């Protein structure tokens, strides 16, 4: 009797253990991933534990300073999806006459976007970690989102298959009728079916992209084509001016790079970028830094071709005179191991 009871308890214990490991194990993995990604991509500005003036870049940043992520009364006003949308957004040109920015839009240029650097899944892991910094728990259910995307993909595939069949049948019927009457096939007869199929293909591609983006980094495997950097002489000055504006007011490069005494120190000083770096290299780097150095802390900021060209032109003009090394080559943060 006693032995049997012990046996039952033993089995129960093992079962509970397995259950706890699978439930907790998965959550832990997500938490661990969020922690590592935060350490690699956020801590230099926001601090390892999210406090003011804790990150090594905090005091070098122009205003506004990186948000205090431990401030529960402020952070609790943001929903999980608001935090997600801040980390994963398109940068806005905050110059006068730049982009239209709504009252509720978050558009601080020196808070970079990670939309073009990390997968959606990774960004959710970071949101979960940020929640912990002010003692909250993420409520957003990533598993549900995954299921929704998978279901949407299945539906889109089904719609496309159906639309293809309908189109093929309509086309076949039209050509059979034309053959009977001995006339040319009239494309207009099945134009509607064709339009439906084309749309279904677009929807399928979009569902596929959303699904891929959930787990795959957007820049992965994307190589940047060699740019045409020629500019008409009369346009050079305007392009350089635009590049300067975008550098500060749209992409907040100054949050991480310094010019003279001003600016962040996450990346190297760019005072002499015009001497040291070649235009094609700069352009490619700006479009997809991870393609050239997978573990770099510099995110891909989603520069359009035109923006990348203007910023490249501007960097080409940065030709400060050489100074003693100690003055211009500020120490660059050591590059950490890849965070994936």
Contact residues toward ligand HEC (CB under 6 A) are 41-42, 44-46, 57, 61, 64, 66-67, 78, 83, 86-87, 106, 108, 110-112, 114, 126, 130, 247, 251-253, 255-257, 264, 266-268, 270, 273, 276-277, 282, 285-286, 293, 296-299, 301, 311, 315, 335
Q: Which is nearer to ligand HEC, 190 or 247 (CB)?
A: 247
Q: Please list, in sequence order, all residues whose beta carbon lies within 8 angstroms of the beta carbon of residue 280, skipping any fewer than 6 positions away.
A: 226, 227, 229
How far is the C-alpha of 97 from the C-alpha of 92, rounded, in Å?
12
Residue closer to ligand HEC by CB (options 51, 276) is 276
CB of 74 to ligand HEC, least distance (A): 8
What's the closest the beta carbon of residue 223 comes to ligand HEC, in angstroms? 18
Q: Of 214 and 273, which has the nearer Cβ to ligand HEC? A: 273
Contact between 246 and 310 under an 8 Å Cβ cutoff? The reply is yes
171 burial (CB, 10 Å; 0-12 / 13-18 / 19+) is middle
Alpha-carbon dihedral sign for residues 258, 263, 268, 273: negative
Cβ proximity of 308 and 298 under 8 Å: no
Adjacent-strand bridge partners of 262: 259
Judged by beta carbon, residue 193 or residue 307, the one nearer ligand HEC is 307
Instruction: Give the residue from 124, 110, 103, 135 showing the smallest Cα distance to 58.
Output: 110
Residue number, 153 or 277, with CB nearest to ligand HEC: 277
* Residue 306 beta carbon to ligand HEC: minimum distance, rounded to whole angstroms: 13
Report d(CA 315, CA 259) in Å as an integer. 11
Asked if 87 and 41 count as a contact pair (C-beta separation under 8 A), the reply is no
Answer whether 33's CB lies under 8 Å from 132's CB: no
Q: How far is the CB of 261 from ligand HEC (least distance, A)?
A: 18
Helix (H, G, I), strand (E, B) or coil at 66: coil
CB of 157 to ligand HEC, least distance (A): 33
| Residue 103 in tokens | 């009252």
Nearer to ligand HEC, 94 or 164 (CB): 94
- Residue 159 near residue 200, CB atoms below 8 Å: yes
**Residue 101: half-sphere exposure toward Cβ, Cα within 13 Å:** 18
Maximum C-alpha span of the chain: 97
Q: Distance (Å, rounded) from C-alpha 273 to C-alpha 201?
A: 45
In terms of CB distance, is 162 or 278 closer to ligand HEC?
278
Q: How far is the CB of 32 from ligand HEC (least distance, A)?
A: 16
Q: How far is the CB of 170 from ligand HEC (least distance, A)?
A: 50
Report whether 231 contacts 313 (CB < 8 A). Answer: yes
CA distance 250 to 303: 10
* Cβ 40 to ligand HEC shortest distance, Å: 9
**Closest approach of ligand HEC to the CB of residue 123, in Å:** 8
Nearer to ligand HEC, 76 or 223 (CB): 76
Which of 50, 167 has the CB closer to ligand HEC?
50
């Amino acid at each position: 009797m006693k032995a049997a009871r012990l046996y039952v308890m033993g089995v129960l214990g093992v079962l509970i253990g397995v259950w706890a490991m699978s439930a907790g194990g998965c959550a832990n993995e997500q938490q661990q991933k969020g922690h590592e990604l935060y350490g690699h991509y956020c801590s230099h500005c926001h601090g390892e534990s999210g406090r003011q003036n804790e990150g090594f870049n905090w005091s070098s940043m122009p205003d506004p300073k990186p948000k205090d992520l431990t401030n529960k009364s402020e952070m609790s006003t943001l929903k999980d999806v608001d935090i997600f949308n801040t980390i994963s957004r398109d940068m806005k040109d905050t110059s006068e006459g730049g982009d239209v920015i709504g009252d509720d839009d978050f558009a601080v240029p020196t808070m970079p976007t990670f939309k073009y650097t990390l997968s959606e899944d990774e960004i959710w892991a970071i949101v979960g970690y940020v929640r912990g910094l002010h003692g909250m728990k993420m409520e957003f259910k990533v598993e549900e989102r995954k299921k929704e995307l998978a279901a949407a993909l299945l539906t889109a595939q089904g719609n496309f298959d159906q639309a293809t069949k309908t189109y093929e049948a309509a086309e076949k019927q039209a050509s059979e009728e034309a053959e009977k009457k001995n006339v040319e096939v009239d494309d207009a007869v099945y134009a509607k079916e064709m339009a439906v199929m084309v749309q279904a293909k677009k929807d399928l591609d979009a569902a596929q992209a959303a699904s891929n983006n959930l787990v795959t980094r957007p820049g992965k495997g994307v190589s940047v084509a060699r740019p045409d950097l020629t500019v008409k002489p009369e346009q050079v000055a305007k392009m350089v001016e635009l590049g300067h504006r975008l550098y500060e007011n749209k992409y907040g490069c100054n949050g991480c790079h310094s010019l003279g005494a001003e600016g962040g120190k996450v990346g190297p000083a760019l005072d002499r970028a015009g001497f040291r770096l070649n235009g094609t290299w700069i352009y490619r780097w700006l479009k997809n830094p991870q393609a050239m150095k997978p573990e770099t802390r510099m995110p891909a900021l989603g520069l359009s071709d035109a923006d990348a060209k203007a910023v490249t032109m501007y960097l080409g003009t940065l030709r400060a005179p050489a100074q003693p090394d100690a003055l211009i080559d500020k120490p660059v943060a050591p590059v950490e191991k890849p965070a994936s």
